[in-house]
């Protein structure tokens, strides 16, 4: 109603449930013959475990999106040129992915924060490897750091941290519409196809941190993710 666009449709999808991801993809493919753009935007910074037995941030931020993208990939290919935009974060700088322990929460005092950073590194590497695998198909992919945005991402922050974090967010962080701009640029800007797989900020394409440029780690993450989601 707010957009005035009668073509906007809501379809339920819970990325913390691989069963829900599969149900959504099946319904979407049955009802919608066209798919030109997929923006993987959901994010969570809370701790916990999903019904599938994986850490909540890693599944919602990466594994659920990975499965969704794979289930919709054939439709994206048939509707090419098409794009996948994955909302990542500069927090990938602190990511430490270990292929042998994917999906398990890290240990330590700041395990939830580490889990979040790991999932954001996975986002950057997912885009990199997807672009490699889709060369020649006219399906392109981009990882995006939207900036520090004042959203409900921090609602699960520890109580002791909220008095420090929330005023900072209101004073210094972007609002959601501002944060969405670089995501929309990657989704709609002409001529980005040669930059498929790259990492973008509001200043344009940028080199990710070294772990985000590790092609061997990207392949290991892809293969491990396929195994974890049952592909």
- Give per-residue pLDDT as tens, 54-81: 999 999 999 999 999 999 999 999 999 9
- Residue 50's DSSP bridge partners are none
Distance of CA 23 to CAs 11, 42, 44, 49, Å?
Answer: 10, 17, 21, 21
Torsion-angle region of 135 (φ positive above 0: left; ψ -120 to 50: alpha; else: beta): beta
Least confident of 58-67, 144-153, 178-187: 144-153
Report the relative pairing of strands 139-144 and 204-206 from DSSP bridges: unpaired
Average pLDDT, the chain: 88
CB 222 within 8 A of CB 129: yes
| pLDDT value, residue 152 | 63
CB 113 within 8 A of CB 209: no
pLDDT of 34 over the 80 cut:
yes
Residue 96, burial from CB neighbour count under 10 angstroms (0-12, 13-18, 19+): exposed
pLDDT of 215 over the 60 cut:
yes
- Residue 143's DSSP bridge partners are 86, 199
In the set 54, 58, 66, 116, the catalytic residue is: 116
pLDDT of 36 over the 90 cut:
yes
116 catalytic per annotation = yes
* Domains by residue range for the chain, with CATH: 35-150+176-229 (3.40.50.720)
Least confident of 23-32, 128-137, 171-180, 214-223: 171-180
What is the mean pLDDT of the segment spanning 99-116? 83
| pLDDT value, residue 90 | 84
Give me the helix-helix angle, 64-78 and 111-133, nearest 10°: 20
What is the mean pLDDT of the segment spanning 208-228? 95
| pLDDT value, residue 45 | 78
pLDDT tier at 174 (50, 70, 90 boundaries)? low
């Amino acid at each position: 109603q707010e957009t005035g666009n009668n073509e906007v449709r809501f379809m339920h999808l819970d990325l913390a449930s691989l069963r829900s991801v599969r149900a959504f993809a099946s319904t979407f493919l049955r009802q919608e013959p066209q798919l030109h753009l997929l923006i993987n935007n959901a994010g969570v910074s809370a701790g916990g475990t999903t019904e599938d037995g994986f850490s909540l941030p890693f599944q919602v931020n990466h594994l659920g999106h990975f499965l969704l993208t794979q289930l919709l990939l054939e439709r994206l290919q048939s509707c090419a040129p098409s794009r996948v935009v994955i909302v990542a974060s500069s927090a990938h700088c602190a990511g430490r992915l270990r292929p042998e322990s994917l999906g398990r929460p890290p240990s330590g005092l700041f395990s939830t924060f580490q889990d979040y950073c790991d999932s954001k590194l996975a986002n950057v590497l997912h885009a990199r490897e997807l672009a490699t695998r889709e060369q020649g198909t006219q399906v392109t992919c981009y990882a995006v750091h939207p900036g520090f945005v004042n959203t409900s991402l921090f609602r699960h922050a520890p109580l002791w941290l909220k008095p420090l974090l929330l005023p900072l967010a209101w004073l210094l962080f972007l609002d959601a519409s501002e944060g969405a701009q670089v995501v929309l640029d990657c989704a709609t800007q002409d001529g980005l196809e040669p930059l498929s797989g790259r990492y973008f900020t509001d200043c344009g394409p940028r080199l990710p941190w070294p772990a985000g440029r590790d092609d061997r780690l990207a392949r290991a993450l892809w293969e491990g993710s396929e195994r974890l989601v049952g592909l």
